[in-house]
Amino acid sequence: MQCRGDDPAREDAPVSAASTTALIAVDWGTTALRAYRLTASGDVIETRRSGDGILSVDGAFAAALTRHVEDWTADGAVPVLLSGMIGSRQGWHETPYLTCPCSLQQLADALVPLDHPRLDVRVVPGLADHRDGRDDVMRGEEVQVFGALAEAETGHFLLPGTHSKWVRVRDRRIVEIRTYMTGEIYAACRNHTILGRLMDEGGWCESSFRRGVADGAADGTPGALLGRLFGVRTAGLFDRLAAGELPDYLSGLLIGAELADAAGDGSEPVTIVGDSGLVERYRTAADTLSIACSLGESDASVGAYIAIARMAGLLGQSGSRRGV
Amino acid sequence: MQCRGDDPAREDAPVSAASTTALIAVDWGTTALRAYRLTASGDVIETRRSGDGILSVDGAFAAALTRHVEDWTADGAVPVLLSGMIGSRQGWHETPYLTCPCSLQQLADALVPLDHPRLDVRVVPGLADHRDGRDDVMRGEEVQVFGALAEAETGHFLLPGTHSKWVRVRDRRIVEIRTYMTGEIYAACRNHTILGRLMDEGGWCESSFRRGVADGAADGTPGALLGRLFGVRTAGLFDRLAAGELPDYLSGLLIGAELADAAGDGSEPVTIVGDSGLVERYRTAADTLSIACSLGESDASVGAYIAIARMAGLLGQSGSRRGV
């Protein structure tokens, strides 16, 4: 697999004669997109990343898609699958949420075609969970989860991000979604409250982070977090931590609180899916709290894109190596 | 008692011959100050409020004090007591914290004199609580608490604000301080996260607020709050609440979480001290959660200023009506 920067015209990977492009899949989020050029058996011919998230392209979604992937269709018509916030109200076209529990087949049956002058484009719909009188949603993570699930029947998946998603799978169906605003609250606290004023940029400080994790997980009620946050200020005020250590303490506090709530009694191991710098933070936090976890493959969603395309009849009868 | 706007030159209250000014007390916080002109027996001759908080006067504290209270000293030298963030690192002079447990006498014994060309100025020091390996602090609220305590021996006091303070008193000593960043987190969420983007200004919506209070208090761990916050977004997304109702729901969520954590098992009634619009919100939240509460007198701190001045020997032997 080739990863490269925001330069759709460059091609690093030699395409062999056997590597016919059968599917283009694009994980198109709020601030970035990632495009995969795939063979029918799930081999990745090429990967492209770009900062052209849905908020960056000023509504010109079709043109942006053309720019990033059209050269991949030189050897004929290739279906294009999109997932992520591109299917939201702020994206190209708002697709209705499917409701949990939801299987991969149900996602494949609900693809929404979009108008494009030359490409055959379909969006994978997002999912909603209306359990216990609460509403939760995701767009894009459903593909990553089915990819990370691979051949398994059940799992508990954590997808770190600005909003981290916890997704439970039973009998190969997504049954539960829980979103935590951890990353966005961190940024708001750091940039827009008194806590940030005491902080300096510092290198990664694992001990401060682990201390935060333990403190964030230590208390018994939701409101305790509002008190612990003030503790970031007093830790600075009384020189318990240096200004450069406070950011990681705050990060640990919030991630520790999230983990302790979401992982429950820790009886089910958590699979962390993603490749951002947050993955290592969550792994360290899980270690601090003795929560069993493993890391999912970083490009696992490829298998799910292929499986969805096949279930939707977009790939014909070619063989499957990576399908789930 | 007279209250008036930011106009130190105006005088509304007629001063009788018997009402000799014996003490000037100033609650001088980050964004506002309130000055009291008092007789030795604790009668309020006049009150002045101003937006000249410590962040507004550009370091010219002595001049600001002169401007606001010097005309009250026309009939002779009068001691001036200051309390609040004026004694912080950002204020006129950083005074060391006293440590809990702390009595009113200890506050009186620790007044810190400040240089002023004509006035006899002293600062009431703030308090720190270093219980259970955690640090908490306050400046100014200690006077309000002793004032609200009046003749009682014990109490549990809530002082709403950008940072709300919960203060426990045993045997007429402050033994515990707990700060919650509720108000500041509300502002950060509303103005600097995705939650604010779904909101409209709406009138006060008590039902949305009470629903938020119940939801904020419902969960079992700190991290649950990070999930409940995302629920503000989905409540908008699925039209469970109108855009104009979301601000009060968010406010209720945070205040409910704070109350459920801070009030503990609710066995000790809470006295809410202050006169901001937040007091009514907290009272409504306490009612929603069946937490017993009462409202303290809004100018209760006057009695504590008089008592501190007397204990510090600043008032001579004149009679006490309002002292605590």
Best of B225, B233, B240, B270 to disrupt the A interface (most A CBs within 10 Å) is B225
CB contact under 8 A, B225 and A220: no
| Chain A neighbors of B184, CB-CB under 8 A | 193-194
The pLDDT score that the predictor gives to residue A275 is 81
Per-residue pLDDT tens for A267-301? 889 999 988 889 999 999 999 999 999 999 878 89
pTM: 0.90
CB contact under 8 A, A226 and B231: no
Residue B84 to chain A, least CA–CA distance (Å): 17
What pairs with residue B36 in β-bridges?
B25, B47
Is pLDDT of A321 > 60? no
CB contact under 8 A, A234 and B184: no
Please state, for a pLDDT cut of 90, what percent of chain A lies above it.
81
CB contact under 8 A, A226 and B135: no
Rg (CA), chain A: 21
CB contact under 8 A, A230 and B134: no
CB contact under 8 A, A219 and B217: no
CB contact under 8 A, A135 and B234: yes
The pLDDT score that the predictor gives to residue A132 is 86
CB contact under 8 A, B223 and A235: no
The pLDDT score that the predictor gives to residue A18 is 56
Per-residue pLDDT tens for A69-111? 999 998 778 999 999 999 999 999 999 999 999 999 999 999 9
Identify the closest residue of chain A to B228 by CA–CA distance.
Answer: A180
Residue predicted with more confidence, A319 or A74: A74
Give ipTM to 2 decimals: 0.89
Give the residue from A161, A101, A263, A189 showing the smallest Cα distance to B224.
A263
Residue A250 to chain B, least CA–CA distance (Å): 13
The token pair at A118 is: 């030359």
Give the whole-angstrom CA distance, residue A43 versus residue A15: 11
CB pairs under 8 A between A and B: 165
The pLDDT score that the predictor gives to residue B225 is 95
Q: Helix H segments across chain B?
A: 61-69, 104-109, 141-149, 182-192, 194-197, 206-217, 224-237, 246-262, 278-288, 301-311
Give the whole-angstrom CA distance, residue B124 versus residue B86: 10
- Establish how many alpha carbons lie within 13 A of residue A285's alpha carbon, considering only the half-sphere containing its beta carbon: 31
| Chain A neighbors of B246, CB-CB under 8 A | none
Across residues A106-121, what is the average pLDDT?
A: 96
| Chain B neighbors of A159, CB-CB under 8 A | none
The pLDDT score that the predictor gives to residue B295 is 94
CB contact under 8 A, B226 and A254: yes
Running DSSP on this structure, what letter comes out for residue B136?
E
| Chain A neighbors of B134, CB-CB under 8 A | 231, 234
* Contact between residue B270 and residue B282 where contact means Cβ atoms under 8 Å apart: no
Give the whole-angstrom CA distance, residue A26 versus residue A300: 13
Tokens 């149900």 locate to A106
| Chain A neighbors of B179, CB-CB under 8 A | 227, 230
Across residues A185-197, what is the average pLDDT?
A: 95
| Chain A neighbors of B237, CB-CB under 8 A | 135, 137
CB contact under 8 A, B260 and A230: no
CB contact under 8 A, A217 and B217: no
Number of helices (H), then strands (E), in chain A? 10, 15
| Chain A neighbors of B187, CB-CB under 8 A | 192
Give the whole-angstrom CA distance, residue B161 versus residue B180: 9
* Contact between residue A30 and residue A87 where contact means Cβ atoms under 8 Å apart: no
Residue predicted with more confidence, B122 or A203: B122
Identify the closest residue of chain B to A256 by CA–CA distance.
Answer: B223
The pLDDT score that the predictor gives to residue A16 is 54
Give the whole-angstrom CA distance, residue A282 versus residue A182: 11
Give the residue from B309, B317, B322 showing the smallest Cα distance to B109.
B309
Q: Compare CB distances from A181 to B229, B237, B262 and report the shortest one's residue.
A: B229
Q: Compare CB distances from A230 to B163, B220, B240 and report the shortest one's residue.
A: B163
CB contact under 8 A, A180 and B259: no
CB contact under 8 A, A221 and B135: no
The pLDDT score that the predictor gives to residue B2 is 34
pLDDT in tens, chain B (324 residues): 333 334 444 444 455 545 799 999 999 999 999 999 999 999 999 999 999 999 999 999 999 999 999 999 987 789 999 999 999 999 999 999 999 999 999 999 999 999 999 999 999 999 999 998 899 999 999 999 999 999 999 999 999 999 999 999 999 999 999 999 999 999 999 999 999 988 998 889 999 999 999 999 998 889 999 999 999 999 999 999 999 999 999 999 999 999 999 997 778 899 999 888 899 999 999 999 999 999 998 788 999 999 999 999 999 654 444 445
Going B273 to B274 to B278 to B283, the CA torsion angle's sign is positive
| Chain A neighbors of B264, CB-CB under 8 A | none
Best of B181, B195, B254, B282 to disrupt the A interface (most A CBs within 10 Å) is B181
| Chain B neighbors of A226, CB-CB under 8 A | 180-182, 185, 225, 254, 257-258, 261
CB contact under 8 A, A188 and B184: no
The pLDDT score that the predictor gives to residue A317 is 52
- Establish how many alpha carbons lie within 13 A of residue A244's alpha carbon, considering only the half-sphere containing its beta carbon: 6
Residue A71 to chain B, least CA–CA distance (Å): 36
Is pLDDT of A12 > 70? no
| Chain B neighbors of A249, CB-CB under 8 A | none
The pLDDT score that the predictor gives to residue B6 is 42
